[in-house]
Structure 1
Amino acid sequence: MASHRKLRTPSSPMGIRTPALATAALTSVALLSQSANAAPAAEPRPSLDEVQKKVDDLYQQAETATEKYNGAKEKTTKQRKRVDTLLDDVAERTQKLNEAREELGEFASAQYRTGASTPGTATMLLADDPQDYFDQTQLMDRLTSRQKQAVDDYTTQQAATTKKRQEAAESLETLTKTQSTLKSSKAEVQRKLAEARELLSQLTAEEKARLAEIERKKQEEARRKAEELARQQAAAEEERQRQEQQAQQDSTSTSGSGSTAGTGTSTSTSTSKGEKALAFAEAQTGKPYVWGATGPDSYDCSGLTQAAWKAAGVTLPRTTWDQVNAGTTVSVANAQPGDLIFFYDDISHVGIYKGDGMMVHAPKPGAYVREESIYYMPIHSVVRPA
């Protein structure tokens, strides 16, 4: 009888005999391997509101850096002038010092030729501090009053020249530091603007259209607030005029005069400085914003306000941080044409009040000098320069 041997299932390399279990194990290993090698999930794309806020923040940061740049540039200009003046002064003093040294040398040579002093005397007269030598009694007795005066003059000029050289060296060091600040501020402006442009470049045409709509609604809300302020200011002005008229009538009644001639307030035909500044700013409408620019072809925000008030005969500092202290602070409700309107907690932007809640300003890179509601940005304060 033939022997029957039971067939055996070949063992897997891992010792698993059941095909189903082997398949499941291999599948699990493959899935684990794929999970381990899979790329991390991409970060969710920011919403348009987030993009707009980020861009607005970058533009504000760029303006802050621009004001730092403006301040450093102004200091650099002043310090360079001071250094040049000091170096010119040092050169002039050095020339006089050399002339005084030559005069002392002539005295020493004359004394040597006449035998009035030894050759060593000439050497001491030509030294940096000949006064020490002349303090010797035997030599001072031989000096004329003119020679003594020459020594005194030389010593005084030498001390003054040394002091001026030290001042020039310190000014040069300060200038170098300010130039470094200027360079870093410029780089910061460029970096912030590049980041903003990069964010905007990543938007699709549809997203850009939606972003423009968000901007339009923001402008609309700011204009609505401006119109409300205009109504409040108009009402306040009307009430002021009513009270003035009532006061005039009461005065006329008390005096018993039937004539009101000469009781009215005369209107000045001259234009106020604020109106002159505003007129200048309005004339710049349409010119591009360029950071660091002060005109006449382009402006940044503080460059425009500085130029406008200069046209009115008033000199303002260069930066927003200094301009905010260059006048009298008034309330928004009492703002008049020409007043400076400052924005943000860090006072990094400024415009010129036009009236009815509107201003003229140089907004930001890529934009042009234009009229806009003062409520487009958070108001810091209002200042009247004159």
Structure 2
Amino acid sequence: MVSHRRSTQSGFTRGVRVTVVSAAAATAAATLTAAPASADPKETRESAKAAVDRLYEEAERATERFNEAGERVDRLRGEADRALDATARGQDRVNRMRDELGAMAGAQYRTGAIDPSLALLLSGDPDTYLERAAALDRAGARQAITLNKLRHAQRTMAQNRAEATRALSDLEHSRTAVARHKRAVEGKLREARRLLASLPAQDRASFDRSSRSGRDAAPDLSGLGPASGRAMSAVAAVHQALGRPYVWGANGPSGFDCSGLMQWAYAQAGVSLPRTSQAQRYAGRMVPLSQAQPGDLVAYRADASHIGMYVGNGQVIHAPYPGAAVRYDPVGMMPVSSVTRI
């Protein structure tokens, strides 16, 4: 189908400057740079590690807000495109009907400008006149129908224009939100990298496995298989992603954030999941953790700001945070808020 609308500007605002630094980061920075000489180095390192963990959590929440805003941008862009196309098609219809009405008016002027009763008296051929009069009546009826259609088309076009204006305005606001969340993520990640760089090399090396790898007791579910064929396919896909890097805002195939990995893995199984971890937790049927089966989605924290896939043996596969590749971790690495069966 040929589009009648003019092209619209798309894409996110470029050159976004990083300006956001969290209170947690500022506190941690002060701890590292202003700690008294008598401070215990171990406590200082532990507080720095804790601050990095908090920054990663905050960045993850901002990433999910970024994903949500990006999803809204895509939806609003589609709405705006459809409204603009409908407006353009409506304008074409209005133009055609106006041309048709103009042609009718011209024909009536040429053949029926004289008073009908006088024209009948003056006519040398009453039968021909009556035929013409009937034709004029039919033309008048067609004109009335066309006028009604024109009015309806004009109302519809005005509505489409209003919808396009609203969608474009919302689109611009959502693009602004995307940029804002992008700044928040980048600011927190930049500060986390700075704090990590301040740690001794051996502490940096140990941080990767200690972060988000708690050893809370996990249910013994080693004998359970996937709940469905699509879950089995998703588990196979998520295993293929092991070792690929965490990339915030990415949903594969070369890099992932936590919810992007879940979306990609289930897409390989032919299942379309929402983009954010908060929406993914409601994409299926919730089950108790004690009944988790491979392929189930495990959401973490009360706000479901992190998510992974249960793969059996008390383990999940997930994209942990920037700098850590997709990997296995215990299902109880963080507080579990829900388990969802797709």
Q: TM-score range by the shorter chain?
A: 0.7 to 0.9
Query: Residues 86 and 168 of structure 1 are in contact (CA less than 8 Å); yes or no, is this contact kept in structure 2?
Result: yes
Instruction: Tell me: CA distance 1:274–1:53, structure 2 relative to 1, closer, same or farther (3 Å).
Output: same
Deviation at 1:215, TM superposition (A): 5.7
Q: Name the aligned partner's letter for residue 203 of structure 2.
A: R
Aligned-partner Cα distance in 1 for 2:208–2:144: 82
Counterpart CA distance in 2 for 1:289 and 1:213 is 18
Of the structure 1 ranges 143-152 and 172-181, higher mean CA displacement relative to structure 2 is found in 143-152
Distance in 1 between residues matched to 2:207 and 2:79, nearest whole Å = 50
Gaps spanning 5+ residues in structure 2: where? 1-32, 37-42, 115-135
Contact 1:292 1:303 in 2 (8 A): yes
Partner of 1:39: none
2:274 counterpart SS class: coil
Deviation at 1:109, TM superposition (A): 2.6
State the Cα distance separating 1:375 from its structure 2 match. 2.3
Tell me, what secondary structure is at the counterpart of 2:322?
coil
Secondary structure at 2:328 match in 1: strand
Q: Does 1:60 align with 2:57?
A: yes
State the distance in 1 between where 2:329 and 2:266 align: 19
- How many Å separate the matches in 2 of 1:371 and 1:208? 24
- Cα gap change, 1:369 to 1:76, in 2 (>3 Å): same
Shift of 1:141: 7.8
Among candidates 193, 197, 209, match of residue 197 of structure 1: 193
Paired position in structure 2 for 1:381: 338
Partners of 1:197 and 1:160 in 2: how far apart?
54
Alignment match of 2:74 (pick from 48, 72, 77): 77
Which structure 2 residues correspond to residues 104-183 of structure 1 after superposition, within 5 A?
104-114=101-111, 116=113, 144-183=140-179
SS at 1:144's partner residue?
helix
1:43 aligns with 2:34: yes
Q: After superposition, give the CA deviation of every residue in 1:18-48 in whole Å (9 maximum; x if it has no partner).
A: xxxxxxxxxxxxxxxxxxxxxxxx8316711
Instruction: Tell me, in whole angstroms, the C-alpha distance in 2 between the residues paired with 1:163 and 1:67.
Output: 34
Q: How does 1:329-348 map to 2 (within 5 A)?
A: 329-348=286-305
Amino acid at match of 2:237: F
- Local SS of the residue matching 2:338: strand
C-alpha distance in 2, partners of 1:289/1:219? 14
Counterpart pick for 1:229 among 218, 236, 250? 218
> 1:291 corresponds to which residue?
248
For residue 185 of structure 1, what is the amino acid of its counterpart?
Answer: H
Aligned equivalent of 1:208: 201
Deviations 1:216-275 (A, max 9, x none): 5667752xx4xx536x445xx69xxxxxxxxxxxxxxxxxxxxxxxxxxxx99x973222
- Residue 218 and residue 57 in structure 1: after superposition, are their counterparts in 2 closer, same or farther (change >3 A)? closer
1:53-109 CA distance string (max 9 Å, x none): 110111111111110111111111111011111111110110110111111112223
* 2-structure distance, mates of 1:56, 1:362: 15
Deviation at 1:208, TM superposition (A): 3.2
1:349 aligns with 2:342: no
Q: Deviations over 1:266-309 (max 9, x none)?
A: x99x9732221111000111111111111111111101111111
- Pair 1:103-2:94 in alignment: no
Contact 2:221–2:314 under 8 Å retained in 1? no
How far residue 142 of structure 1 moved from its aligned partner, in angstroms, is: 9.8
Tell me which residue corresponds to 1:127. none
SS in 1 for 2:332: helix
Q: Partners of 1:315 and 1:355 in 2: how far apart? A: 23
Report if the CA contact (8 A) 2:252-2:264 is conserved: yes
CA distance, structure 2, for counterparts of residue 220 and residue 324 of structure 1: 21
Name the CA shift for 1:318/1:218 in 2 (closer, same or farther; >3 Å): closer
Structure with max Cα Rg: 1
Q: Between Structure 1 and Structure 2, how many residues are aligned?
A: 284
Q: Provide the C-alpha distance between the structure 2 equivalents of 1:174 and 1:201, rounded to a whole number of angstroms.
A: 40
Distance 2:273 2:296 in 1: 12
- Of 323, 339, 347, the residue aligned with 2:280 is 323
Instruction: Note closer, same or farther for the CA distance 1:65–1:110 as it changes in structure 2 (3 Å cut).
Output: same
Q: 2:322 aligns with which of 323, 347, 365?
A: 365
TM-score by length of 1: 0.68
Per the alignment, residue 270 of structure 2 pairs with 313
Residues 63, 348 of structure 1: 8 Å contact kept: yes
Q: Tell me the distance in 2 between the aligned counterparts of 1:271 and 1:305.
A: 16
Separation of aligned partners in 2, 1:320 and 1:219: 17
The alignment yields a C-alpha RMSD, in angstroms, of 2.8
Structure 2 distance, partners of 1:340, 1:272, is 15
Change (3 A) 1:59 1:148: same
Q: Which of 83, 90, 93 does residue 93 from structure 1 map onto?
A: 90
Contact 1:48 1:211 in 2 (8 A): no
Contact 2:221 2:312 in 1 (8 A): no
Q: What amino acid does structure 1 have at the position aligned with 2:193?
A: R
